[in-house]
Amino acid sequence: MTNRILSVLVENNYGVVARIAGLFTRRGFNMNSFAGEETHDPGISRITISVTENEDSIYQIQKQVEKLVDIKKVEPLDAKKDIIRELALIKVTAQKDLFLHIKELTEQFSVRIIDMDTEAVVFELCNTKEKIDEFIDVVRQYEIVESVRTGVIALQAGNKHM
């Protein structure tokens, strides 16, 4: 099984997200994450889908998505070459021991503190899934109150584009 990222350009028309999700459901494929938003062109959205399947299934998914109405282009991205990020907000109980390590944590993981009071500290991370997982493992000892993640977003590196 391989984890792949598909970048999908779609026309902003009613039902396009439902058609993509329906395709995955009908074919029995599982999405790890699904993120989408309007691009710089208000008529076009980019949807980023993370999926773990064998290579043949990933190729089949790509071809099936390309056939759907309102799909402009589908590109598989390479996690080693392309720019792949996830956003996470992690709320941790404010503890004396945590405050002693905040500077070290912010430097080591390039995190920002976006809220802090006597009860909790909220960290914001924009990084790879692996780096966010690593940060969560480190701060777990301080009691994570709650967390949320966006799922994967991605662009092709360099001068390549869709």
Give the residue extent of every domain in the chain: 2-77, 83-155
Residues 106-123 pLDDT 10s: 999 999 999 999 999 999
Whole-model pTM?
0.85
Identify the CATH assignment for 83-155 out of 3.40.50.300, 2.40.240.10, 3.30.70.890, 3.30.70.1150. Answer: 3.30.70.1150
> What is the C-alpha separation between 42 and 157, in angstroms, rounded?
23
Q: Sheet containing 71-77: which strands, arranged edge to edge?
A: 31-38, 44-53, 2-11, 71-77
What is the C-alpha to C-alpha distance for residues 13 and 44, in angstroms, rounded to an integer? Answer: 9
User: Options 3.40.50.10440, 3.30.70.260, 3.30.930.10, 3.30.1360.200; which CATH number does 2-77 get?
Assistant: 3.30.70.260
pLDDT in tens, 74-108: 999 988 899 999 999 999 999 988 889 999 999 99
> SS3 for 70-135, per residue?
CEEEEEEECCCCCEEEEEEEEEEECCHHHHHHHHHHHHHHCCEEEEECCCEEEEEEEECHHHHHHH
CA distance 103 to 29: 42
Q: Is the pLDDT of residue 30 over 90?
A: no
Q: What does the mean pLDDT of the chain come to?
A: 94
Q: What is the per-residue pLDDT across 122-139, written as a single tens digit (0 to 9) for each?
A: 999 999 999 999 999 999
